[in-house]
Structure 1
Amino acid sequence: MHETYTEFFSHHLGHNIKMLTFGTRGYPVVVFPTTLGSYFEAKDRGMIESVRWFVERGFIQVFCPDSINDASWYANIHPRHRLLRHIQYDKFLHEEFVPQIRWNTPSGRIACAGISFGGFSATNFAFRHPEMVSHLFNMSGAYDIKSFLRGYYDDNAYFNNPMDFIEGANDPHLWDMKIVLGTSNWDICLDTNLKFSEKLRRKGIDHWLDVRGNIEHDWPLWLQMFPHYVSLI
């Protein structure tokens, strides 16, 4: 399986973002890591190996960019600055990174996948920029960042909190996006997935709430999910 390591300079962030890419062609799938996970996490945990068949046949190309969660949501800074730092990361994705891979498909749209807190990263980007995203695969995703704001709330908080801004979302691309909310009966994120699914249902946004059996919020669950969801592209 072809693997490439790159460092991508972001003008919005002011530093390099490290990334691993698997495959040389196929539908672009961007994988966001867990809470403080890095660009190599999906490889080290076996997630890339789980989709080897799709990569080697050129059906998909997987991109694993680094996160900056340690400098935003988990940094010891004021919540306002956590939001502003995350917005810089969103601009990196929207204006610098995704434009370079989105036209690998005729539609000009990509697939986003997120694991645990990476589900927030994937969902926030997909729902803020649905014209760029055709598929959204959440694996035990989180969708509410209020706990990181310690009571602080402004427009930036609203527009970067999927659990809130989905209420007023009206981009027509949302209604043709293929959305999966993957969770399990023993998942610590089960409740938030049920609540988010209900919000999507009320909006008439089609999605698949995939509640699996008695398996915990951990890699064995996500390694089951990822190849299944990729097969839907």
Structure 2
Amino acid sequence: MKEQYHRWYSHNLGTDLEMLVFGDRGYPLILFPTTKGRYYQNKDEGLIESARWFIEQGLVKIYCPDSIDHLTWYNKDVHPAARAYNHQWYDRMLNEELAPWAMHETGVGKVAVAGCSFGGYQAGNFAFKHPDKVSNLFSMSGAFDIKQFTDGFYNDDIFYNNPVDYMPGANDPNLWQMNIILGTSEWDICKGYNIIMSNILKAKNINHWLDIRPQAKHDWPVWRQMFPHYLSTIK
């Protein structure tokens, strides 16, 4: 399984970012880490290993970028407006730098996105904001209401990064073409968020799969089961 390390200067973030890339061809998939996770977390926790067959068969090429959660939603040292503003720059990096890079390298016109826990929010938010660039969304135990991180403050930057708020009014036709899987489990602390998000999608007649795994909690063992299953549905 081919593994590459990349470090590049992000003109949107004004700093260097690090990333691991697995595979040499196949459908491009951006895989986000969990809360404050680094670019190597999904490898260390065995999620990449769970996808080995798909990578070695050339079916998928996985991009694992760093997060900047310590500067955005988890940065309690700054005002919530600054947290949301900083996240906007991360979103621009993904939209203007990483997604085009992955599409160019693989010759594919869109990317897939995935992530566990807070990475599931990152994947969902990027997919729902940029459906012109995303064909497949695999959120595993994600939460889709960012207001829990904003201390009661609310502005446009928060609205446009809070899927439960902006999705009811979304009308991009690409949303109805996207392969969307909301993975959760019986004892998942984020199960309720996934049910709410599923109900929003249902109300808009957006096809998706709400996958509730039995007798499992919010942790890596169930995510390692989900991930290869979801990769098998890429279209």
For 1:32, give the aligned amino acid.
F
For 1:24, give the aligned amino acid.
D
Query: What is the Cα deviation at residue 54 of structure 1?
Result: 0.7
Q: CA RMSD in A?
A: 1.0
Query: What is the Cα deviation at residue 105 of structure 1?
Result: 5.7
Contact 2:80-2:150 within 8 A present in 1 as well: yes
SS at match of 2:132: helix
1:57 lines up with 2:49 in the alignment = no
Quick one: distance in 1 between partners of 2:190 and 2:101? Answer: 33
For 1:19, give the aligned amino acid.
M
Quick one: distance in 1 between partners of 2:65 and 2:230? Answer: 20
Shifted more, 105-114 versus 205-214: the winner is: 105-114
1:125-161 Cα shifts (integer Å, max 9, x gaps):
1111100000000100110110111111111111110
Alignment of 1:1-233 (within 5 A): 1-75=1-75, 76-104=77-105, 108-233=109-234
1:155-191 Cα shifts (integer Å, max 9, x gaps):
1111110111001100000000000000011100111
Contact 2:25-2:106 within 8 A present in 1 as well: no
For 1:62, give the aligned amino acid.
I
Shifted more, 103-112 versus 32-41: the winner is: 103-112
Shifted more, 96-105 versus 18-27: the winner is: 96-105
For 1:36, give the aligned amino acid.
K
Q: Which consecutive residues of structure 1, in runs of 5 or more, have no partner in the other structure?
A: none
Contact 2:136-2:180 within 8 A present in 1 as well: yes
TM-score normalised over the length of structure 1: 0.98
Q: Which consecutive residues of structure 2, in runs of 5 or more, have no partner in the other structure?
A: none
Contact 1:26-1:104 within 8 A present in 2 as well: no
Contact 2:18-2:65 within 8 A present in 1 as well: yes
For 1:6, give the aligned amino acid.
H
Query: What is the Cα deviation at residue 104 of structure 1?
Result: 5.0
Quick one: distance in 2 between partners of 1:228 and 1:207? Answer: 15
Contact 2:6-2:20 within 8 A present in 1 as well: yes
1:179-211 Cα shifts (integer Å, max 9, x gaps):
000001110011110111001000111000000
Contact 1:181-1:193 within 8 A present in 2 as well: yes
TM-score normalised over the length of structure 2: 0.97
Quick one: distance in 2 between partners of 1:36 and 1:105? Answer: 28
1:41-83 Cα shifts (integer Å, max 9, x gaps):
0100000110111101111001000000011111121000000
Structure 1 stretches of 4+ with a deviation exceeding 6 A read: none
1:95-132 Cα shifts (integer Å, max 9, x gaps):
11111112456651010001101111111111111000
Contact 2:28-2:108 within 8 A present in 1 as well: no
Quick one: distance in 1 between partners of 2:206 and 2:213? Answer: 21
